[in-house]
Amino acid sequence: MSRDLIAKPLTAEAFAPFGDVLEVAESTPDKIINQGMCGRHHDRATLDFSDGQAGLSLFDSKPRDLPYAVELVERHPEGSQAFVPLNGVPMLVIVANDLGDRPGQVHAFLSQPGQAINLHRGTWHGVLAPYQAQGQYIVIDRIGAGANLEEHWFDTPWVVTEIATDTSPAEG
Amino acid sequence: MSRDLIAKPLTAEAFAPFGDVLEVAESTPDKIINQGMCGRHHDRATLDFSDGQAGLSLFDSKPRDLPYAVELVERHPEGSQAFVPLNGVPMLVIVANDLGDRPGQVHAFLSQPGQAINLHRGTWHGVLAPYQAQGQYIVIDRIGAGANLEEHWFDTPWVVTEIATDTSPAEG
């Protein structure tokens, strides 16, 4: 079995097992506010901070490029984690199915400008990976007691070797 | 007394009475994560959702330009409200001092790309106003029961007539 991955375009449908994609393109406003000037797409992410609270942090990360080796995934058992691009830099989004005590199949997506994501509580994911440029992101995650972190290091890294240009189903 | 306003550059210091400004430029990371690749500026906003919960929504708003008439401010007595620009469009940020049952002096700021804001619970503010371009913003505010909205219409509108180019103290 190959450990190579092709990064697929990030769509709400493909990402649904792992989290939410927030974007205007795939959404109809729930309410028109501000005297007709603004559409509100209301409450579009499943936030869950267990016994903690929501906090806003800012992540400033160095860029990644292909081939991108994924040696590690992690998860936050006590909370969801959302990433909103602040300077328009797309993310290489790495997630994995859950086998209970460890990750299973790994999936790679490339986000587009205008897309924000929310990883559901407990979802295995790679670290923040801005694609080809230094990236800043507002992060909405759990502020609270406890480590809230599990890591899994792969014996053989997965490697994102290619960016797909269509939305055909992921391999594996 | 003139009702004209000059929009000042948005800085954390000038905005402190009304809310938080999140940006890399004015901040030192609290923690370096992801094997040295990422700075985490941790928990940089005062979120408060009273008896409700945090939610992520997407606002898609038409542009505003100068002169910009402010006929209305509003406040959310039960929660803070954060705006993270998703497509890089600066905001004309209107806020006002509180006289208890009504707004006092009104202030105008122009945000820069790379800045997100969080309005503190109960702060009088203008509606979302993307400057000169259609703007999308991820909004972090309270999901919960009740109206959570007070509006104040001005007899004489305030008008933003000019964008300042320095950070000298606001008028009024």
pLDDT tens for A13-64 read 999 999 999 999 878 999 999 999 999 999 999 999 999 999 999 999 999 9
Q: What is the mean pLDDT of residues B128-144?
A: 98
Identify the residue with better confidence: B10 or B25: B10
- The residue type at B14: A
Please state, as a whole number, how many other Cβ atoms lie within 10 Å of the Cβ of residue B34: 17
The pLDDT score that the predictor gives to residue B41 is 97
Q: Which chain B residues are within 8 Å of A84, Cβ to Cβ?
A: 84, 86, 116, 138
Asked if residues B157 and B72 have their Cβ atoms less than 8 Å apart, the reply is no
Q: What share of chain B in percent tops pLDDT 90?
A: 91
For position B169, what pLDDT does the model report?
55
- In chain A, which residue's Cα lies nearest the Cα of B47? A55
CA dihedral B62, B6, A88, A49 (to 10 degrees): -90
- Of B38, B82, B88, nearest to A128 by CB-CB distance is B38
What does the pLDDT look like over B11-24, one tens digit per residue?
Answer: 999 999 999 999 99
Euclidean distance between CA atoms A64 and A135, whole angstroms: 10
CB contact, 8 Å: B143 with chain A?
A: yes
pLDDT of A46: 98
Between positions 3 and 42 of A, the ones with CB within 8 A of B are: 20, 22-24, 27, 29, 33-35, 37-42
Query: Tell me, what's the pLDDT at B172?
Result: 45
pLDDT in tens, A108-150: 999 999 999 999 999 999 999 999 999 999 999 999 999 999 9
Q: Using CA atoms, how far apart are residues B124 and A92, in angstroms rounded to an integer?
A: 39
Taking CA–CA distances from B141, the nearest residue in chain A reads A43
B55 to A43: CB separation less than 8 angstroms, yes or no: yes
pLDDT at A2: 53
Residue B166 has pLDDT above 90, yes or no: no
Give the gap in angstroms from C-alpha B163 to the nearest C-alpha of chain A: 22
pLDDT at B168 over 80: no
Whether residues B136 and A24 touch (CB distance < 8 A) is answered with yes
Superfamily for domain range B3-163: Ureidoglycolate hydrolase (2.60.120.480)
Interface contact B101, partner A, CB < 8 A: no
E strand residue ranges, chain B: 4-9, 19-22, 31-33, 38-41, 53-61, 68-75, 81-85, 92-98, 103-110, 116-119, 124-125, 135-143, 150-163
CB-based contact B107:B95 (threshold 8 Å):
yes
Q: Which of B34, B58, B149 to mutate to test the interface with A (most CBs of A within 10 A)?
A: B58
pLDDT interval class at A172 (50, 70, 90): very low
Q: Does B45 touch chain A (CB under 8 A)?
A: yes
The answer to whether A136 contacts B127, with C-beta atoms less than 8 Å apart, is: no
Query: Which residue type occupies A148?
Result: N
* A82: closest chain B residue by CA: B56
Q: From CA A57, how far away is CA A65, in angstroms rounded? A: 24
CA atoms within 13 A on the CB side of B3: 11
The pLDDT confidence band at residue B165, using thresholds 50, 70 and 90, is confident
pTM: 0.95
